[in-house]
Chains A and B, each alone.
Chain A
Amino acid sequence: MFYLLSFFWNDWLSITMPRHQLIQLPAMLLLGILLAYCFSTLAIQDMYWGIAILIFIMASFIFWMLPHSIDVAVINKHFNRVMHINMLLSGFLLILVFRKIFFEVKILFLGMITAMLLASGITLSVFNMLLCSSFSIEQQKQTGLYLIFIAIALFIFTAITFFSYLRNRSK
């Protein structure tokens, strides 16, 4: 799957901004998550390491949302691969951290990612200046709109996770 997404379909996925940002990037993250499920015993035990890794993951998301990073990733294939590996690693590490980290940190992380995606989506959908020269302004607005949908879905997921953790937690 990684080969298909990163090499075989890369040109097609890099043509438009929604494909690049909303399919390729989350797909890599998802692959990382699935990969982590293959190693069911692996987990980051230490809370400090866990928080540090979550900060790294969040910083990665922010970095790959920056217009300049997106531009370079589209132009430079090697840089694009760094993005793929980074997202794959982020997804993988996310699950390892989530296996042992406190409930509070989990919900905080999901909540903040939701807030970030919502803010980015709204920003992209209202911004009338072209942020990434590799794409068009229509694509930029479209990406923004879909990001809002993803944020809403993640908000619902966060709420479900929140309530499911609070359900039947008897000692």
Chain B
Amino acid sequence: MIQIDSTDIKKQKKLALTWAITFLILFPVLITLGLLMRLRQGEVTEAAPSEFFSYMTLHGLGMAGVLFSFAFAALWYLNSTRYVKLNVKFGWFLYIIIAIGVVGLLIGTLIGKFGPGWYMLYPLPFKGTFWPLWATKLSVISLIILGVGWLVGILHILYALAKEYGGITNLLGWQYLKKDNSNIREIPSMVLITTISLIPGVFALIIGAAMLIMYLLQSFEPSLAFDPLMMKNMVMFFGHTLVNITMYCAVGWVYALLPEFTHREWKVNKAVVYSWNATFFFILFAYLHHLYMDFVQPTSLQYLGQIISYSSAIPATGITMFGVIAQVYHAKMKWSIIPLMFLFGMAGWAIGGFAAVVDSTIALNSSLHNTLWVPAHFHTYMLMGVVLFILGFLYYLFSGNNKEEKDSFGNAGFWIFVLGSYGFLLMFYLGGLNSVPRRYSNYSGIEIDHVRETGVHLAQCAALFVGVLLIGLILMYLSLICRLVQQKATNKKND
């Protein structure tokens, strides 16, 4: 096992803290954009549609980017302080590259009003737009920069892990599948999940780069006409895979950190290897469920989309849920805020995942497609899954040695946050069930009175719940800051 010296750990921690603070600044800003959108839909404010759509674009791209970047940064930190040596200078370089991409995106959307949504569905960013061409170019270039940063970072982690654990087959856990596995190189479960999550990311980012180059070419030559179906396949392969692996990266650190609280090992075994390897394959093709409404897509791919969406949900989720239950069942553990967040994060993943499977069923998708059910499911596993995992990790990072201490302030914030979030999500689900469409800046154009009125009322309620959620978040922020200050004081004393 590798020995990592304390100086390296300190350096990596500084990097992780910088990532954490960046996340803590950007996250509420992006939530506020969501709040402004719901207020507009609830007819509380009268923002112009152009503002609504630029907010929607930044909210979508920003959240996906920030959550993935932070999930990646957390994996970087945990891997580099436990299992493998990662170059900290390289880590800072990636931070700067990603920051440049984020700044470009902020300028493109907030100043340039770039507003085709995160998916930038072709040819939407080029036909009858309300934003200038430079905003499209800048946003696309910023996304390319972000992609390059992520790709290089992923490659660095994978290569370092492969060197440490004797190659890709070991990283994928295939040594556990041998008949005689008495003398095998054991791998930590987080390393297995890091590998399984990040390799599909490499392919998604290359295809994403090709797609973005085509967008860039289109922005220089308006007479170009690409096949919209091909572009949609590319954008969904890129976007869906990236969002999917964000969740798996976060699940990876739960495998590593939860055992510290339950005091039980969470080892890799055959079942874990089989299920995560299956997920590795399914991640790449699950995106096909985004194209059900595209009648020109070959029918076989539509069926494949449903089958793979079902298959991708079962192995990793099943084995992880079973693992979590085995970890916490009758465990002599203190239910401090960190394991609580991990447990609720798992619940959010399961609930959001179930809603996603419902939507990926072709028969149901014909009713739920493009309704608020869609943001309902992905907000569930992002807000109540990934975000809770991230907050749990932040508590872990900010806590120093006493990670199980009682924190009534933080706990209050957590419960308020969960209450606000599920209230906010419920409004999305109810909207979906009432056929309220998504991506509408306001509902005044809907001719069916019931749908219009329901949409407006639900948006108002959702805005209220976002307020509650933000109160919870502020309390948790205060508790986090206290922990960080406490940790710094302890470190100073020890030095």
B243 on interface, CB distance cutoff 8 Å: no
Contact A104 B168 (CB under 8 A): no
Of the candidate stretches A2-10, A108-116, A132-140, the one touching chain B is A108-116
Q: A159: which B residues are within 8 A, CB to CB?
A: 203
Within 8 A of B (CB), among A117-171: 118-119, 122-123, 126-129, 151, 155, 158-159, 162-163, 165-171
Question: Looking across the interface, which residue of chain B has its beta carbon closest to that of A123?
Answer: B217
Contact B223 A129 (CB under 8 A): yes
Question: Looking across the interface, which residue of chain B has its beta carbon closest to that of A127?
Answer: B224
Q: How large is the interface on A (under 10, 10 to 19, 20 to 34, 35 or more residues)?
A: 20 to 34
Contact A158 B206 (CB under 8 A): yes
Q: B9: which A residues are within 8 A, CB to CB?
A: none
Least Cβ–Cβ distance between B189 and chain A, in angstroms: 19
Question: Looking across the interface, which residue of chain A has its beta carbon closest to that of B205?
Answer: A111
Least Cβ–Cβ distance between A136 and chain B, in angstroms: 18
Least Cβ–Cβ distance between B36 and chain A, in angstroms: 35
B281 on interface, CB distance cutoff 8 Å: no
Of the candidate stretches B124-132, B208-216, B368-376, the one touching chain A is B208-216
Contact B152 A104 (CB under 8 A): yes
Contact B205 A165 (CB under 8 A): no
Q: B452: which A residues are within 8 A, CB to CB?
A: none
B445 on interface, CB distance cutoff 8 Å: no
Q: How large is the interface on B (under 10, 10 to 19, 20 to 34, 35 or more residues)?
A: 20 to 34
Knowing A126-B225, A166-B162, A167-B168, say if A108 contacts B152 (CB, 8 Å). yes
Q: B167: which A residues are within 8 A, CB to CB?
A: 166-170
How many angstroms between the C-alpha atoms of A6 and B155 in the bound complex? 39
Least Cβ–Cβ distance between B396 and chain A, in angstroms: 28
Contact of A107 among B164, B171, B202, B214 (CB under 8 A): B202
Q: A111: which B residues are within 8 A, CB to CB?
A: 151, 202, 205-206, 209
Contact of B164 among A112, A167, A171 (CB under 8 A): A171
Taken residue by residue from 224 to 258, chain B's Cβ proximity to chain A (1 for < 8 Å, 0 otherwise) reads as 11110010000000000000000000000000000
Least Cβ–Cβ distance between A36 and chain B, in angstroms: 24
Knowing A115-B210, A123-B224, say if A168 contacts B155 (CB, 8 Å). no
Knowing A104-B152, A108-B151, A111-B151, say if A166 contacts B210 (CB, 8 Å). no
A103 on interface, CB distance cutoff 8 Å: yes
Q: B313: which A residues are within 8 A, CB to CB?
A: none
Contact B210 A119 (CB under 8 A): yes
How many angstroms between the C-alpha atoms of A115 and B203 in the bound complex? 11
Least Cβ–Cβ distance between B195 and chain A, in angstroms: 9
Q: B162: which A residues are within 8 A, CB to CB?
A: 165-167, 169
Least Cβ–Cβ distance between A143 and chain B, in angstroms: 15
Least Cβ–Cβ distance between B31 and chain A, in angstroms: 33
Contact B163 A126 (CB under 8 A): no
Q: B298: which A residues are within 8 A, CB to CB?
A: none
Knowing A123-B217, A166-B162, A169-B162, say if A114 contacts B210 (CB, 8 Å). yes
Contact B202 A122 (CB under 8 A): no
Contact B224 A108 (CB under 8 A): no
Least Cβ–Cβ distance between B91 and chain A, in angstroms: 12
Contact A107 B213 (CB under 8 A): no
Within 8 A of A (CB), among B155-179: 155-156, 158-159, 162-169, 171
Least Cβ–Cβ distance between A162 and chain B, in angstroms: 7
Q: B217: which A residues are within 8 A, CB to CB?
A: 119, 123
Knowing A107-B202, A116-B213, A162-B202, say if A122 contacts B226 (CB, 8 Å). yes
How many angstroms between the C-alpha atoms of A165 and B210 in the bound complex? 23
How many angstroms between the C-alpha atoms of A105 and B93 in the bound complex? 14
How many angstroms between the C-alpha atoms of A169 and B84 in the bound complex? 13
How many angstroms between the C-alpha atoms of A158 and B199 in the bound complex? 13
Least Cβ–Cβ distance between B191 and chain A, in angstroms: 13
Contact of B214 among A119, A158, A171 (CB under 8 A): A119
B148 on interface, CB distance cutoff 8 Å: yes
Taken residue by residue from 73 to 91, chain A's Cβ proximity to chain B (1 for < 8 Å, 0 otherwise) reads as 0000000000000000000
Contact A115 B169 (CB under 8 A): no
Q: A167: which B residues are within 8 A, CB to CB?
A: 162, 167-169
Contact A170 B224 (CB under 8 A): no
Contact A115 B209 (CB under 8 A): yes
Q: A127: which B residues are within 8 A, CB to CB?
A: 221, 223-224
Question: Looking across the interface, which residue of chain B has its beta carbon closest to that of A110?
Answer: B206
Least Cβ–Cβ distance between A74 and chain B, in angstroms: 21
Least Cβ–Cβ distance between B183 and chain A, in angstroms: 15
How many angstroms between the C-alpha atoms of A128 and B226 in the bound complex? 11
Contact A126 B168 (CB under 8 A): no
Contact A163 B156 (CB under 8 A): no
How many angstroms between the C-alpha atoms of A58 and B143 in the bound complex? 19
How many angstroms between the C-alpha atoms of A163 and B195 in the bound complex? 12
Q: A158: which B residues are within 8 A, CB to CB?
A: 206
Taken residue by residue from 179 to 212, chain B's Cβ proximity to chain A (1 for < 8 Å, 0 otherwise) reads as 0000000000000000000000011011101110
Least Cβ–Cβ distance between A148 and chain B, in angstroms: 10
Least Cβ–Cβ distance between B70 and chain A, in angstroms: 21
Q: A108: which B residues are within 8 A, CB to CB?
A: 148, 151-152, 155
Knowing A166-B168, A169-B166, say if A107 contacts B155 (CB, 8 Å). yes
Q: 3 tightest CB-CB pairs across the interface, nearest first? A: A115-B209, A119-B213, A166-B168
Query: Would you list 18 pairs from A and B whose C-beta atoms are within 8 A, ordered by A residue?
Result: A111-B151, A111-B209, A112-B206, A114-B206, A115-B209, A116-B210, A116-B213, A123-B217, A126-B227, A155-B206, A163-B168, A165-B159, A165-B162, A166-B162, A166-B168, A167-B168, A168-B166, A169-B166
